[in-house]
Amino acid sequence: MSDTANKASPHGAHDEHGDPYAHIHVSSWQTLVAVFVALVLLTSLTVYVATYDIGRFELAVAMGIATIKCALVMGFFMHLKYDRALNRMVFLGSILFFTLFLGITVIDLDSSKPDIESYRRENPVKTAPATEESKPSGEATKPGDPKKSGEPGQHQKQK
Amino acid sequence: MSAMSDASHGAPEHPEHDPHLAHHFDDAQQQFDAAKMGMWTFLVTEILFFSGLFCAYAVYRSLYPDLFEGAAKYLNTTLGAINTLVLLFSSLTMAWAVRCAQLEQKKGLILTLALTLACAFGFLGIKYAEYSHKFHEGLLPGANYSAALHQGPEWLEEHGVDIHSHAPIPEAVEQAALAKDGRSYGLFFGIYFAMTGLHGIHVLAGIAVILFLLIRAIQGRIKRENSVIVDNVGLYWHLVDLIWIFLFPLLYLIN
């Protein structure tokens, strides 16, 4: 798991010119396969959980599982576990700014929710504007449509 | 090569100059670290690039939770899950390709890169099937959304329409293809196409760079000294996988 690719350079042999090879972490294939299996299991878990109605925790659970998968990919496939601390900092910096971006937007949205709700009460959605207006899209009656053309339902589209 | 080693050799040209080591780096380690850090900096800009779309998703899902719940039922979870597995497998083969490059296993490198490329095409193939299905069903962004007009006979019968009469679709049935509050699902499909489309463009770019690596590998031009190029393409490819890891539950698994 922690073997390095330094096969041909005992220290000191090249001390004037520096090591001709960088010290690179090489992952063992067993580690890679184990991570892949864990990722597949977590994917199955998230699909399985989604078939149950668990209410408002649904999004939190789905995002939690995705975050664990993300950590596995980053730690092992992207070598972040063995990488320089600087690269970890660079990555965490992006997460920090992502959180700021999303967090401040959500706070702003939250504070304008009363306005949004009163606007909605005053302007309810009446009919189906999209289906009424976008009818002559032409796509419905394309002759090349293998599934629909010639089926009895087709005629009803001309309302 | 430092100035000191120049002096000790007494010649301006480096007789033992390593072709893989650029002049402005002290040694291979520094060159490797700089390449990796440059790639990570690029990945950060990518994450922030996508964050705009994730932010739009968060705002609209919080404003229209029912709309997202209803619209997600039009997505094929099975195809989404298969695509997740395809991308996860391609991440495995890509990580393995990095290992092969570092250990100078030429055959293994070619095989793993070819497998990664095949998975990338497989992903886009499934995506193509999903997209064309949505185009035919009228599951389109914004005002182009027209699902009720494009439904098949099974759906219409389910909603109590006599498919053999030529009567117009009752308004109630048209409403069935809309969210509970009468809003069109066009909003959801706008977000869906923007997010998966941008991700798909990244897959295309990934195909280009993996193809480049594959050609280099076949030519035998990828050695341990320059294996960082495989490493960095790998980092990019894993990021594409990471974005999908979040897109899949956010778009397909809304209950």
CATH number of the domain where residue B85 is located: 1.20.120.80
Q: Look at B28-42, B118-132, B134-148, B227-241 and tell me which has the smallest mean pLDDT.
A: B134-148
Is the domain of B162 the same as that of B126?
no
Contact of B76 with B130, CB cutoff 8 Å: yes
The string of pLDDT tens digits covering residues B175-214 is 667 777 778 888 999 999 999 999 999 999 999 999 999 9
Which structural domain range is residue B168 located in?
148-181
Locate the chain A residue with the closest alpha carbon to B17: A17
Tell me if B7 is assigned to some domain: no
Same domain flag for B102 and B141? yes
Contact flag B238-A21 (C-beta cutoff 8 Å): no
B245/B130 same-domain check = yes
> Cβ contacts of residue A15 below 8 Å, gap of 6+?
none
Write down the pLDDT at residue A125: 74
Same domain, B75 and B103: yes
Distance from CA of B253 to the nearest CA of A (A): 6
B85-114: average pLDDT: 96
According to the model, what pLDDT value does residue A7 have? 42
Q: Please report which confidence band the pLDDT of residue B158 belongs to, taking 50, 70 and 90 as the band edges.
A: confident
Shared-domain flag, residues B173 and B66: no
**What pLDDT does A144 receive?**
39
Q: For residue B110, what pLDDT is reported?
A: 97
Q: Which of A15, A46, A134 is nearest to B178 (CA)?
A: A134
Q: 10 Å Cβ neighbour count for B99?
A: 23
Q: Which of residues 67-86 of B touch A (CB under 8 A)?
A: 77, 81, 84-85
Is B114 at the interface with chain A, CB within 8 A? no
Q: Looking at the complex, does the CB of residue A32 fall below 8 Å from at least one CB of chain B?
A: yes
Contacts of B91 in chain A (CB under 8 A): 36, 39, 73, 77
Number of domains present in the structure of chain B: 2
Residues of A in contact with B232 (CB under 8 A): none
Question: Residues B228, B125: one domain?
Answer: yes
| Residues B79 and B160 placed together within one structural domain of the fold | no
Under the banding of pLDDT at 50, 70 and 90, the label for residue A127 is low
| SS3 sequence of A75-115 | HHHCCCCCCCHHHHHHHHHHHHHHHHHHHHHHHHHHHCHHH
Share of chain A above pLDDT 90, in %: 48
Q: Is residue B239 one of the residues assigned to a domain?
A: yes
Average pLDDT over residues A133-158: 40
- Which residues of A are less than 8 Å from B242 in CB distance? 70, 73-74
B177 or A74: which leads in pLDDT: A74
Q: Is the pLDDT of residue A140 over 90?
A: no
| Residue B2 covered by a domain | no
Residue-level pLDDT at B172:
65
What is the band of A55 on the pLDDT scale with cuts at 50, 70, 90? confident
